[in-house]
Structure 1
Amino acid sequence: MGDLLRLPTAGRPEEDWAELHAHSAFSFLRGASRPEDLVAEAARLGIGVLAVTDRDGLHAARRLHAAARDHGIGTVHGAELTLGEPALGTPVVLARSVEGFRLLSSVITDAQLAGSKNAPVYDLDAVARAAAAGHWAVLPGCPPPGTDRCDVAAVAHRLARLTDVFGTSGTHAELVDHRLPEDSVAADAMWVAARRAGVPVVATGAVHYAAPRQARVAQALTALRRRETLDRAAGHLMAAPTAHLRPRAERAAFLSRYPGVADTTVALGRSCVIARG
């Protein structure tokens, strides 16, 4: 990991924010921004901790760390894993230590070697053994296509399956707000399901690009991934240009409905910054 970043100095509690789920351009045809662009925008917005969680890889780690060091932002290294089981979806795994980073790198490497290009094959038993070491925090991640985000029973089942593999102590529920009508109902379902599963709750932006101006690029990448024109892919594109970095102040109304979530999010983010002594 090289020279490791110091923990960021905490700002005022009502302004502190940690974005724990963001894709960079290293998420092939999914993320639209370079790690440096994500860091620069996070710095502009006053976000103190930033996680880059690319799909099945840690390719952005070094560039993220270098850019964040220049801006004084705490970095969290993680990945969104394609586990191959619908109930598990693509959970986000965040390394909470150097050992956690090593374990995550190891399971990703093994999966890439066992699979084919863009189609890794994870050994769930090996993933569970790595998780048992206690060096990871896990979020549900982006829901698979066709997932009913608003059905409490379905969401609770997914959280239960995640705790089967990753353990209760490391698993967190995740509220995502893209300012879409469905997000409010989906967040309520996740909130109730988390209470049933007995896991803490955090909020993320499920970020796919740094700023609103890059939304059109993200749409084009989605269409390219589907090998369709923008018109034909319209039903599969994000409904609004809102999957970008946003500060805590812009989330205030959403977060106010879920007591403690904002502070839990910031605390988890800060606990995952690997710091120098």
Structure 2
Amino acid sequence: MQYTELQITTNFSFLRGGSHPEELVEQAEALGYREIAITDRNTLAGIVRAHTAAKAKGMRILPAARLDLQDGPALLAYPVDKDAYARLSGLLTIGNLRAEKGDCLLCRADVYQHAKGIKFIVVPPAALNTTFDFDHAFLQTLGEYREAFGPELYLAASRAYQGDDNKQLYRLSQLSAQLNIPMAATNNVHYHHPARRQLQDVLTCIREKCTIQTAGFRLFENAERHLKPIHEMHRLFRQYPDALRQTQEIAQACRFSLDSLQYVYPEEITSEGRTPHGRTDLSYLAGRQAAIQRSGP
């Protein structure tokens, strides 16, 4: 029984994730995971800490990101190799340079130009409309995504425990068959343990500038956004086994690792002499990558 969680938000998604990357890796190991993906919002800043923690435990991290777009549904992006990772990094840098510090502005056209070698999962709307269907705007954009990404596109299937999960999964399965876009099971994780839900609620209130008493539907309805055991994910998607298989298909295709990165920089004069060429320094990469993601115009 295998499962790889492909949608995890850490505290590097500012005021959204309720757990550190290291906590999520530790919990994943305790639950028997061999690999997980980190998909923070419009940033790759959290994957270095996750990679370092996972490497110490013999696990694997799939570097990825959630792309929140100005003109379309969000996309989870998974580079399959180093070149694709470079394109994803360049895409995020473009979005950062357009925005104030801490923000990232990306459009569909930007993603289309950097899509080579990247697998995408579309994040559907959180709820169906009053006719228990998806709005026309989502359906129209989904068709455009299918034309742009072809077989590299998948549909995220998650259970939010909102009362209409079965209806939403059924509608997604219809779209999957109609547009030939496979479903991929995810859990939309925002913290490593259910007890962290209260902290995540506080972060939401800070982000939305409200109190717990007035937050209402801006909070998650329950504490189900935690990392679940593998057997539980198989139970939740027992009616859609293909979604579980597609999740593993994506994980197996994405073999890129941060271990393959090497930062090459010119010699510098320091108080201790010249620095060597071609040093591989993961902590330095972490700092540089985080700085790029935070940079403004």
TM range (shorter): 0.7 to 0.9
> Are 2:70 and 1:84 equivalent residues in the alignment?
yes
Q: Match of 2:83, as an amino acid? A: E
> Are 2:144 and 1:161 equivalent residues in the alignment?
yes
The Cα of 1:195 is off from its aligned counterpart by: 1.2
The Cα of 1:123 is off from its aligned counterpart by: 4.8
CA distance in structure 1 between the aligned counterparts of 2:66 and 2:41, rounded to whole angstroms: 5
SS in 2 for 1:19: coil
SS in 1 for 2:114: helix
The Cα of 1:82 is off from its aligned counterpart by: 1.9
Runs of 4+ in 1 over 6 A off after TM superposition: none
**Equivalent in 78, 85, 93 of residue 101 of structure 1:** 85
Pairing of 1:241-256 with structure 2 (within 5 A): 241-256=223-238
**Equivalent in 140, 145, 165 of residue 183 of structure 1:** 165
Q: Is the 8 A contact 1:156 1:197 kept in 2?
A: no
SS in 2 for 1:269: helix
Instruction: Render the CA deviation track for 1:120-154: whole Å, top value 9, x for unaligned.
Output: 222533321211x2x1111113637x774951564
Distance 1:172 1:207, change over 3 A: same
Percent identity of equivalent pairs: 24
> Are 2:39 and 1:56 equivalent residues in the alignment?
no
Q: Is the 8 A contact 1:172 1:200 kept in 2?
A: yes
CA distance in structure 1 between the aligned counterparts of 2:252 and 2:25, rounded to whole angstroms: 16
Q: Is the 8 A contact 2:77 2:120 kept in 1?
A: yes
> Are 2:123 and 1:137 equivalent residues in the alignment?
no
Q: Provide the residue aligned with 1:37 in structure 2.
A: 23
> Are 2:58 and 1:72 equivalent residues in the alignment?
yes
Q: Is the 8 A contact 1:49 1:270 kept in 2?
A: no
Mind listing any 5+ residue stretches in structure 1 that lack a counterpart?
1-13
Distance 1:140 1:123, change over 3 A: closer
> Are 2:188 and 1:202 equivalent residues in the alignment?
no
TM value normalised by structure 2: 0.80
Instruction: Render the CA deviation track for 1:37-77: whole Å, top value 9, x for unaligned.
Output: 11001111112221111111000121111111112222111
SS in 2 for 1:137: strand
Q: Which has the larger radius of gyration?
A: 2
The Cα of 1:231 is off from its aligned counterpart by: 1.0
Distance 1:248 1:156, change over 3 A: farther
**Equivalent in 242, 247, 252 of residue 270 of structure 1:** 252
Paired residue total = 257
Q: How big is the alpha-carbon RMSD for the aligned residues of Structure 1 and Structure 2?
A: 2.1
Q: Is the 8 A contact 1:39 1:67 kept in 2?
A: yes
Comparing 39-48 with 154-163, greater Cα deviation is found at: 154-163
SS in 2 for 1:172: strand
Distance 1:142 1:231, change over 3 A: farther
Q: Match of 2:106, as an amino acid? A: Y
Mind listing any 5+ residue stretches in structure 2 that lack a counterpart?
261-297
Q: Provide the residue aligned with 1:125 in structure 2.
A: 109
CA distance in structure 2 between the aligned counterparts of 1:115 and 1:224, rounded to whole angstroms: 21
Instruction: Render the CA deviation track for 1:219-247: whole Å, top value 9, x for unaligned.
Output: 11111111000110022111110001112
Q: Match of 1:62, as an amino acid? A: V
Q: Match of 2:23, as an amino acid? A: D
CA distance in structure 2 between the aligned counterparts of 1:234 and 1:125, rounded to whole angstroms: 35
SS in 1 for 2:48: helix
Distance 1:159 1:142, change over 3 A: closer
Comparing 265-274 with 37-46, greater Cα deviation is found at: 265-274
